[in-house]
Structure 1
Amino acid sequence: MSSTASLTEKNVDRFAPVSLVSASAYIVTANPRVAAQNIRELIALARANPARLTFGSSGVGAASHLSAELFKAMAQVDMLHVPYKGTGQALTDLLAGQVDLLFAPSQTVLPHVKAGRLKALAVTGAKRAQTLPGVPTVAESGLPGYQAVGWFGLLAPAATPGSIVLKLSADVNSVLAQAEVRAKMTALGADPGGNTPEEFARFIREDQAKWAKLMREAGIEAAE
């Protein structure tokens, strides 16, 4: 899903996709008092205590919300959503034990995980994060097929000539291929992107369809 609120189903046609820049998995993070050390134990705990476990998010329809809703749907568990006005507030209450879980960007929670103030149960991407190689993915922990990543991409106004879009895409891909750039992005928990305008357009369509379907089925209306 887009890591910002700037691209939606309502306005996507106003832009010409140029290239995916990066994709970042989230970390399924728990307060230390939660009696689960991994995803299988979390699912068992949630099933034994319907609607008792709470998860924070940065707002209704945000990436941190939808990644947890996808988990709920696939694991067939009921957990209580507590929306906040930003990740910072959600993180503060997670650390204080006011909420149990947070599906959060790596750079937000990694220092607290390494300090032992939070537990990392899994990462939401298709592969393990280089910053937390010992933490498994949700998919390998009992929910095959689960994947939720936030992404950033470059788009141009829809009326931009195709030749310029192609030139921009080539330039972006050239930068993303540089070893130094890739190393810095990876250190921040982001997987470097890079693709053609056509590939990026297809990626956007598929990504939006996936999350729109989840929102319809879960009865979620994103905040305007």
Structure 2
Amino acid sequence: MRMPLLKSFLAAVALAVLLPSGASAADAAWPTKPVRLVVAFPAGAPGDIISRLIQPALQKALGQPVIVDNKPGAGGNIGMQEVVRASDGHTVLVGPDTMLTINPHLYRKLSFKPMEDLRPVTQLASFSQELVCNPAAGVKTLPELLAAAKKTPMSYASGGPGVPGHMAMELLLADTGAQMQHVPYRGPSPAMQDVLGGSVPCGFLASPVVGPMIKEGKLVPIMVSGTRRLASQPAVPTAAEAGVKGYDASFAEMMAMPRATPDAVVDRLQSEVAKAMAAPEVRERLATLDLEPLANTPDEAARRLRTENQRWAQVAGRIHLQLD
């Protein structure tokens, strides 16, 4: 009887040595079933594009199917709520960091606390928003647009309430004293379609979405929201270069999981995502869409999120923006 017991004890000791601190055997075996990436925005949004680009590599590395499941609506709140409530350990949120950094300051009736109920896995890639107009609007520069908006009522489209384009535009309007009516859509792609069709004269949308239409001459680029020009559109100025000094609205697509997710699971997923993002073909595709790969660690992502959360809290308070 002693020999089997000794073997069992030695096996347990060996397993404990091999497992990361705080990890269980179940954590080390993760994933044990399909992994679902809940993309909180529609197909064609930056997070959706990235998810589908790295999906094959993740499936191969994890040894389980990786399912991309779009759950758009309410600035990402619908998808975020689904992930917060998930208890299977295999549900992952994908979307812009504004879900955690901006939504808590905008939505008064959230049934959860994004910064407390979710833990970041990684920030996938940084991106800018781009202010564009239909050629029929008759404006080609930011001063022309602001002057036109001050003379006659104008509207702009975004991918939804509280999303990057909405906040970027509201910050711009607050900084310049101009006014434009917000027309929210369920994602940047449908918003772009109405700007193309002339239903809304302008839009503040993700540069990967509008870039191809700009190159075809179907949309007029006015400015980018970040502090650097886009590599694919070097002629398009930043807001600061267009005359709005100190303006900066940069964003990142990210992954997150429920707060109770073990460290070992989060670290495993981040590691495999980073490897998938490092593939030359993925980086080349992201570069064409003006998405700058990050794939940072959970701790690095958490620090950046805390900083952005504080910054956007000040912005939301300054422009008195709040949504139901």
Q: TM-score, normalising length from structure 1?
A: 0.84
Identity %: 31
Task: Name the CA distance, whole Å, in 2 between partners of 1:85 and 1:153.
Answer: 19
Classify the secondary structure of the residue corresponding to 2:221.
strand
Classify the secondary structure of the residue corresponding to 2:241.
helix
In structure 1, which of residues 21, 30, 36 is the aligned counterpart of residue 133 of structure 2?
30
- Is residue 139 of structure 2 the alignment partner of residue 44 of structure 1? no
Q: Which runs of 5+ in 2 are unaligned?
A: 1-40, 42-46, 48-74, 81-98, 105-112
In structure 1, which of residues 104, 109, 129 is the aligned counterpart of residue 205 of structure 2?
104
Query: 2:226: which partner in 1?
Result: 125
Query: 1:143: which partner in 2?
Result: 244
How far did 1:30 drift? 0.7
Query: 2:117: which partner in 1?
Result: 14
Query: 1:182: which partner in 2?
Result: 283
Aligned partners of 2:227 and 2:238 also within 8 Å: yes
Paired amino acid for 1:39: L
Aligned partners of 2:230 and 2:290 also within 8 Å: yes
Paired amino acid for 2:119: A
Q: Deviations over 1:106-138 (max 9, x none)?
A: 232223222222101111122111221221222
RMSD: 2.5
Aligned partners of 1:62 and 1:222 also within 8 Å: no
Query: 1:95: which partner in 2?
Result: 196
In structure 2, which of residues 270, 276, 296 is the aligned counterpart of residue 169 of structure 1?
270
Classify the secondary structure of the residue corresponding to 1:43.
helix
How many residues align? The count is 220
Q: Deviations over 1:146-182 (max 9, x none)?
A: 2223422122332333354344434433443343322
Query: 2:173: which partner in 1?
Result: 72
Classify the secondary structure of the residue corresponding to 1:71.
helix
Classify the secondary structure of the residue corresponding to 1:70.
helix
Aligned partners of 1:35 and 1:45 also within 8 Å: no
Q: Which runs of 5+ in 1 are unaligned?
A: none
Q: Which has the higher helix share?
A: 2
Query: 2:15: which partner in 1?
Result: none
Distance 1:199 1:86, change over 3 A: closer
How far did 1:183 drift? 1.4
Q: Deviations over 1:28-82 (max 9, x none)?
A: 10111233322233233334x2x62211123222222111101111222112222
Residue range with higher mean Cα deviation, 200-209 or 7-16: 7-16
Query: 1:194: which partner in 2?
Result: 295
In structure 2, which of residues 168, 172, 182 is the aligned counterpart of residue 81 of structure 1?
182
Task: Name the CA distance, whole Å, in 2 between partners of 1:204 and 1:177.
Answer: 22
Classify the secondary structure of the residue corresponding to 2:232.
coil
Classify the secondary structure of the residue corresponding to 1:140.
coil
Classify the secondary structure of the residue corresponding to 1:195.
coil
Task: Name the CA distance, whole Å, in 2 between partners of 1:42 and 1:72.
Answer: 11
Task: Name the CA distance, whole Å, in 1 between partners of 2:122 and 2:190.
Answer: 32
Query: 1:210: which partner in 2?
Result: 311
Highest CA radius of gyration, 1 or 2?
A: 2
Residue range with higher mean Cα deviation, 90-99 or 114-123: 90-99
How far did 1:88 drift? 4.0
How far did 1:14 drift? 1.9
Classify the secondary structure of the residue corresponding to 1:40.
helix
Distance 1:58 1:167, change over 3 A: closer
Aligned partners of 1:123 and 1:136 also within 8 Å: yes
Classify the secondary structure of the residue corresponding to 2:148.
helix
Distance 1:183 1:38, change over 3 A: same
Task: Name the CA distance, whole Å, in 2 between partners of 1:149 and 1:143.
Answer: 15
Paired amino acid for 2:208: Q
How far did 1:139 drift? 2.4
Query: 2:254: which partner in 1?
Result: 153
Residue range with higher mean Cα deviation, 130-139 or 161-170: 161-170
